[in-house]
Structure 1
Amino acid sequence: MQTALALLEQRAHAGTWSLDISTGKLWWSEGVHRICGTDPKSYSPQLKRALGMFDSASRLVLQNAVDEATPDHKDFGVRVRLHRRDGESVSIFAAARPIFRDGILTSLSGVLYDLDAIARERSAALESEERFKMLFRDSPSGLILASINKQIILVNPALCSLLCFEEAELLQKTTTAITHPDDLDKTEDAVRRLWTGQVNNLSFEKRYLRSDGRPVWTRVSLSLLRDAERRPIHYIGQCLDISESKEREDELFEAKELAQITLSSIADGVIRTDKNGIVTLCNDAALRMLGYDSSAILGRPFWDVIVLHKPRGEDLLDDPVTEALNTGIAIKIPAFARLRTASGNMRPIFDSTAPVRSSSSEIVGAVFVFQDAADNLQMAERLTYQATHDALTGLPNRQAAEEQIKRVITLAKTAPGLCEHFLFYMDLDHFKVINDTCGHPAGDQVLREVSELIAERLRESDFLARFGGDEFVLILSSVSQESAAALARRLTEEISRYRFVSSSRSYSLSISIGIAQLGVAEEDVQDVLAQADTACYASKRSGRGTYQFFAFDDVLISETHVDLGWFQRIRRALSPESAPDSERLELYFQAIVDGDGKQLGSEALIRFITNEHKVISPQEFLPTAERMGLMGSLDRWVCKHAMHILALMEADPAVSNQIGGFISVNVSATTLSTPSFCEDLLLMLNARPTLGGRLRIEITESERGRWGADELQLLQRLRKVGVFVILDDFGSGYNSFHFLKLLQVDGLKLDKTVVNGLRIGPIDRNLAAAAIAIAKELQIIVTAEGVEDEETMQRLVALGVDHFQGYFFDRPHILRR
């Protein structure tokens, strides 16, 4: 009984008490002790101590209530404040009944209610109810509350949206009415198992019916709601739309079926293993290429079945499946690795091996995919041959020759002094006469016949290549200088006796040979080619049809050696590893102005700075650079440094004030028509998009370049990113108007020879006037260079020139930092 009373008091936040008036004995229940914060085991309630828990106002209220209740034997109840033992003040309701015997008040008994606790419990209950309603309403999953007879009691917006019903419509229905007929039995079974207590909750898949009758797949999770006595009263269901996952299941099934069909029909061999490397799958293509039946492969270790050899030789390759399983990364074996078939034959293949992972990223196997590469290998060998051989003569080409020269130089350096090696650079004399007179087919025939004639006089170890046009190179290994000279004499004699007959006319040829020794100094391929080429030129100067060894003390060769010296100096200056105090390249700038003399931009002009700080003009080293094939490197250097200055202009107004709004750079037509140069320049411009509109490129019209459709397209790509393209030195050559017609440019620059000739005669004036008239028609800018006085300036203004450049306005200068 006491336990039931304590439980009741605890739930009601109440406690009972009684006071014996005659003895003053006070009794508290556990509930009163809990309200007062006292321990019933250690605290004995006494009237005086109990009254001390109330403040004076509360004691007065209690006294008045007792006084008023006593005469009329009335119950009373008052609201007072009580100070708990822990110091907390709580609001309580004290109710009491006076007990009389023979008209005398003998005792009081009553109840204390903790009003604060009751208020907190009510607030928590309201909050919990509100939280449930909010969670129910705002849940992204569909929620439904139904009674035991399946009547829908409550639904949330997500369920209404899922089933396309209004809330009021659903509240008029039962769960049976919105369940797909085929899913009624499993739904009934699920509810029964819940209601009978077999399970506390469960989840299953079912189809609901939308308002238009269309089914929708859901995953339903059911739970029971119980009353205070734990009796089931309702059940609640959470409904997740799994239509997409059901569709994916169907797609996955179809994909699996498709994969099986694909594996059976594709030409690639596919072998799959488990995590231990045991073969679990092998498609038909793999079986055909291996020459096995599936029974001979499935269930066996991969390395027992698949034996791989390197592309050349008998060396075995490591097992790629084991490596993929151990490392967890895709493995590629060398192209054209050879696969040993059941018959022992070697089949070249391409392959890819990758680990297979589970959804938890655990490696569960590997897949080995391979292709028969026999046709590809033949094609690669053909392409390799074509890449290294001349199509006309069948001889090795320039690329192959340079590689062979490199090998011989390396050989000579590893065994210096043991033997000598020589390079012949051979140029046919008078070949152009035959080519121009008899036509290119006749020229081709001459080249074939001459190459055969030379080859017949050589040893098997000698290396003959067509270097281009009517030029051949010959590499002699392990011969003396006397033997090399003897061979050169025989070749010049044989070629001099050769005759080509066309249209009853006989043509003779001769051959000039330049000879350089390989491996005698720290020279690379280009060095020795330049030496042999120089010697060949010397033989032509001495009468053609002869040979010449390269020697530094030869006058002509000495002159050419100057070119080689410049070649080395320029290469060192271009090298990023050159020392800071060594010879270097530097950009000077000259202003480009408008008709009022206001600076618009600057042209970047390259200069060579010696160790003695002497400034060398480009006229002294650019011709050598052009002859030696360095113009592309110089053009790249200029563009790279110009881009750097353009970037400084954006960050530093002082630099921008010196340069103006743009930098104009000279790029040779040959370089600009090279796709790799344009692509590299576009990469730089794309990295700094704001710089494109500040860069101008000047093309020298006297240079030919390779202006095919692809090169013209690259030029237009530069213009699209804002680069101005200017046709430079206009009027200095014969092709000015041809190039103006061929190239879509943004401007032209009159050559200084035309500008200087304005005062001399009508030809230059008319040429300038015609160019300016065409430019105005094309709406492009005309710039005049080489303006050195006021009179020339005024003549150009009168003709309609837009921009001006020359000593009259500014002398080239370095950028002042």
Structure 2
Amino acid sequence: MMTTQHTNSEQHIISLGESRQLLLDGGWAMAEFDLSGNVISANQQFALLMGFSHAEELVNINHSQFVLSHGRGTVFWQDVLAGNITCGEFKRCHHDDCVVWLHASYSPVLNKDNELQSILMMAMDITQEKLMYVEYHARLQALDSAQGVIEFDKNGFILCANDNYLAMTGYSERELVGHHHAFLCAKDEVSANGYQRFWKALRRGECWKGRFKRIRKNGQPLWIQANYNPIFDSEGHLCRIVKYAHDITEYVANERKMVQQRALLDILLDAQNRFLHDHDLGSACDHVFTPLLDMTQCEFGFIGIVQDTEGVLSLHIPAISNISWDDSVTRWFDEQMQANNALIFHRLDNIFGQVITHNKIMCVNNVPAFPGKRRFPAGHPPLHNFLGIPIVFNQKPVGMIALANRPQGMDDELIAQLEPIVTTLGTLIRARSLEDKRSEMEARLRFNATHDGLTRLPNRNAFFESLHALPDLNLPSQGMSRHCLALVDVDFFKRINDKYGHLAGDALLQELARLLETHTRGTDLVARLGGEEFIVLLRDVTTRDACLAMERLRAAIADYTFNWEAVSLSFTVSIGVAPWRPEYASMDDWVQQADTNLYQAKSAGRNQVCGP
């Protein structure tokens, strides 16, 4: 029966390779290279990215074949091996000889001796982003032929504007004429020193050009690329200023989105690298979290991992923003982190919990009016808006990202922007869960292999391994003489089995195991040899003290009664004690002497301790 149990358990061990494969199949193009730059393995995403049909076609292809300038390929690879190149944007050669742009990282893979054995490349295709960048530059040139034009007098008051400029701002000419240039600017810009320097330069006749933020009639920001050109009269005096401008608001928005996407990719690569390196999910979440807050411009937030304990869900928070809770909650938070290495939310009946319990995105831009806002921790700062996104794996919530107090509010664009990180965190959380299950299964198998299934004490093999591992085993006899063995045997055990049945006998052995552990020291080792026989290694003790300790144990057992199926059972034991002696040729001789003393205790009438 035990063999069958081991076989079934072994079938459920989740290998480390399976959990890493989840990362490889998570949407990233990945390839592993040996130290010469030859491909060892790659996933299908990398093969398709580089123009191959199957990943197997890439095996043994050298990295230099992907570099447009083959002469630079060797130098580049040496820089990778030296650690000079870790991540960035790279122009690479497609299998069809076209160009592909990659945002990629090159990560060293170390063997068990901490030696470099290979390089792991993780990449994302940014070719379209590059093409978009070029496209926007071409669009800017085309806009020069149809620019917005507005004229100011020398003091900055608007004289006129053309249709293009009016269309950009949303104003009519009548609404603009007579107003000062500051009418189109944000208040914080007008009050800044730079605004005064800007106009002083224009009045001196200096041209001014650049990118400027202006405010449309509807209050929305307008980004323009503009040239301010002073115009002089025939006597050389400044008479007016003409501004040529074109709308680059969409370009600026896309530019910022590209920057955010790159930042997001760096966050994801860092999280995956850290998880692959040390398998610490909490550390990966913590390193993701602060850049995530910065990127989204949110004031508060956390990353949570769902724990399911017998159907009861709780939320473990390894990464949370540093919010100004009151002193009592701060102490509670510190205690939670020390005890659990995470903050734990057991109650999920608030705005946070609904993300998990309902498995849906919660986007709330008026938290005070939201009915589920109650039951925040005491001292929690006020939330104005909130975004909670469930982290899902196989349609089941395994965690969540929570963000709050974003100045511009929460919207669908932010939700779409966070989708890659939500997917990646879902994969990491699942991989961590699989590794935990594997570790738990391995620990259970190791325990079962070294412990008695009935009493949960170490078994015979484990005991003798510990005995042979004594640090002073090979030292002079003075060291070993401080150790004693005691064999403990239940008196008339067969009678108990015959009278009450084997289940009663099993219950007796379990009670005896508990009593042995209770009446011995933490430094002593208690094990079950088999049947009704137990053995105790008493470390660093004189023979007299060992016999006294075993006598106390015997007396405690003789006075002990336990109930089994409404029957009160009591029993006694006989104990043989043997100290280590230098004439013993082996551990077996030592155990044999303890067994001889046990036999003497039995022969003398049982319920006794017999020593040398």
- Give the TM-score band, short-chain normalised: 0.3 to 0.5
Greater relative contact order structure (CA < 8 Å, 6+ sep): 2
Q: Which has the larger radius of gyration?
A: 1
